[in-house]
Structure 1
Amino acid sequence: MNYIVTIMCVILFSGCATWGGIKKDTRDGAEWTKEKINQGASYVKDKTE
């Protein structure tokens, strides 16, 4: 039973961190430039190859 509670807490806290990141990204969206977007896309492309 303790394992289930621990796992649920970890899932809850990781979900909160993800949601916080999403809110920060959307709030900073006005500061995005083509260069920043291109750098992010290049990073993802390099990591997924």
Structure 2
Amino acid sequence: MKKNILFVLTILFIFSGCATWKGIKKDSNDAWKATKGAIHEATE
């Protein structure tokens, strides 16, 4: 029984970590695009 609970908690932690990592990647990608746009406008 304890193994099953530990297994379920581990799976939930892994999936929540993946969702968080995807969010971090998206946010950093958006920030990079905004930075490139600002640099392009400043150098025109």
* TM norm structure 1: 0.59
Give unpaired runs (5+ residues) of structure 2: 36-44
What code does the residue aligned with 2:23 have? G
Shift of 1:20: 0.2
Q: Percent identity, please.
A: 44
Give unpaired runs (5+ residues) of structure 1: 33-49
Select the residue among 26, 29, 32 that pairs with 1:27.
29
RMSD over aligned Cα, in angstroms? Answer: 1.3
Runs of 4 or more consecutive aligned structure 1 residues displaced over 2 Å after TM superposition: none
* TM norm structure 2: 0.65
